[in-house]
Amino acid sequence: MTPRWLLSLAVTSFPFLACAKQACKCLSSQPCWPSSSDFSGLSSQLSQPLIRPTPPASACYPPSNPSGNCTDAITHLPDGPFRSNIPGAMQNINFESFTFDNGTIDACYYNFTLGVPCDQGNIPILGVDARTVADVQATVKFAAKHYLRLVVKNTGHDYLGRSMGRGGFMLWTHNLKNISYDGAFVPNGAPSGSQQYKALTIGAGVQWHDAYAAANDYGRLIVGGISVGGSVGAAGGWIQGGGHSILSSSHGLGVDNAVQFTLVLASGEYITANAYQNQDIFWALRGGGGGTYGVVISVTYQTYEVLPVTSISFFINFTSPAIAQNVTTEYFAMLPALSDAGWGGYTFFQGALVSINLASNDSLAQGNTTFSTFIDRTLAAVGNPALVTVQTQSFPSFYQAYQTYFSGTGEVGTTTELVSRLLSRKIAEEQPEKVAKVFLGLADGAQINFVAGGAVSKVNPDSAGLNPAWRESIGLLMSGISWDEGTTTAAINRLRQGAASDLEALDTVSADSGTYFNEASLYEKDFKKTFFGSHYARLKDIKRKYDEDDLFLVAEGVGSDDWDKSLNCRRD
């Protein structure tokens, strides 16, 4: 018997409402879906055969079960780079599943012992493995002609599930892997005598572990994202959402370091955008949200001199709520000054405070001095030196520090939904005890990405499409929820209610209730304000100029307010 996830390309059993052609996208479940001859015509224009994304766990179900591929799927579940090579895989597996309005979940669970059939879930059944600009152009024109729900996917490292879409047509950019370095890069169209950059240009499919290695090979430093295994894409949603980094307090966000984009528009036109040509879309691409304005082919980043890096990490166990409040108040009080000194880091709390902090402009001795007051007060508050561990280390480069802390596997392969808010610098300075109380009160642990302030706060808030609230913040406060496969929608919704309570608490210490588009909730009350702030109206005007028919559409992205929750049909 043919598994459900291998149903024909023409019509599947997805029970979507019938929609008028002009009002709704054409889905793979509907008669409007292109014919075999249509797809053959597209295929003849491509450098690679069409791909048929399947759930990664499908190898664990009949007729394949048991198979070597099943072992690989389970063994490599927490392996970001491995999973990013699979078109049907998301880094967070809940986004591979689809929930109908009645609460029924359609999925292919990795826990195949649950006895649930393997279904296609949220994964498109057909797509293009783009290897060239021409591949992207042909795909975009085809999707526009047939009014398809186009899903642009690279690595699947996406906390809002924007790179999947049930019934859609996938454009997989993961294999656009070109990397080049130019020690005297001048943006296209710049007048004679314009600033030159020591710049790295990376293709849409390049991931940060690739980009860091390449920059290091050229003896340079690049500002980029951090994840275990480095599976985040370096030229896609990360940069278009803003792109925070552990290096941001020293060198700014990703959007502050991007000097040029190349991209394919909804019309199929291939353009270059920078400060000298197509300036409006250059502005929008820097923080206005991924999957919205076109398909980015490459990004050119300025790079920096390699400097030694100092690392200070601490692990603090608390024996009472009062001690936890005391220590975390001290911690938040010192963050503004730390960011001004070029420090960045990641801090987690779940019964204990664990923090990794890096700076590229302090020696080890300077670092010890910077943190000495905090450590002394922590030891006095905790009362037992055995409960406080401090580790200091010096590295010749950021790349070596990155390899030490963030190589390996982990962080992916689970069900995860986040809630987050940018932490106001002003509130951290004036009311650190309030921030600490909120942080410690989050329902399922908490995290702060200490990735703003410093250089980030010195940039003109209107210089890019990024939410201006970033310029008033010192970091991103987050909490999240997770659940076991097979959990009912009702139970998941109860978890979401708890996450919503966390969000209300985070609002009280946030910079204008703003947050990071890439690490946030799918259930924002006012996503336009939260993700884009005062820039939303201008971003939407640019969206309409370049993509009037909304070929590019993602959850809570610019223009999505004109569509229903499914993003398949326009609102009345």
Per-residue model confidence as pLDDT tens digits over 182-210: 999 999 999 999 999 999 999 999 999 99
Whole-number pLDDT of residue 446 = 93
Q: What is the pTM of this model?
A: 0.94
Residue of 68 and 243 predicted with greater confidence: 243
Least confident of 194-198, 314-318, 440-444, 566-570: 440-444
Q: Which residue has the tokens 């002009």?
A: 22
The strand ranges marked E within 53-136 are 98-99, 105-106, 126-129
Report whether pLDDT(363) > 90. no
Per-residue model confidence as pLDDT tens digits over 206-256: 999 999 999 999 999 999 999 999 999 999 999 999 999 999 999 999 999
Residue of 367 and 284 predicted with greater confidence: 284
Quickly state the pLDDT bin for 333 (edges 50, 70, 90). very high
Per-residue model confidence as pLDDT tens digits over 488-511: 999 999 999 999 999 999 999 998
Mean pLDDT calculated for residue range 540-547: 98
Task: List, as own/partner pairs, every contact residues 2-7 make where C-beta atoms lie below 8 angstroms and the sequence separation is at least 24, other chains included.
Answer: 3/58, 3/61, 3/62, 3/63, 3/118, 4/117, 4/118, 4/119, 4/120, 5/54, 5/55, 5/58, 5/108, 5/118, 5/119, 5/120, 6/54, 7/120, 7/125
For 210-268, the three-class secondary structure string (H helix, E strand, C coil) is HHHHHHHHCCEECCCCCCCCCCCECCCHHHHCCCCCCCHHHHCCHHHHEEEEEEECCCC
Quickly state the pLDDT bin for 411 (edges 50, 70, 90). confident
Say if CB 392 and CB 314 are below 8 A apart: no
Say if CB 456 and CB 248 are below 8 A apart: yes
Cβ neighbours of residue 133 closer than 8 Å, sequence gap 6 or more: 264, 270, 297
Cβ neighbours of residue 7 closer than 8 Å, sequence gap 6 or more: 13, 120, 125
Omega prior to 66 cis, within 30 of 0: yes
Mean pLDDT calculated for residue range 399-426: 93
Quickly state the pLDDT bin for 66 (edges 50, 70, 90). low
H-helix or E-strand spanning residue 9 = none
Helix (H, G, I), strand (E, B) or coil at 488: coil
Per-residue model confidence as pLDDT tens digits over 251-271: 999 999 999 999 999 999 999
Domains of the chain: 36-172 (3.30.43.10), 179-306 (3.30.465.10), 309-396+414-524 (3.40.462.20)
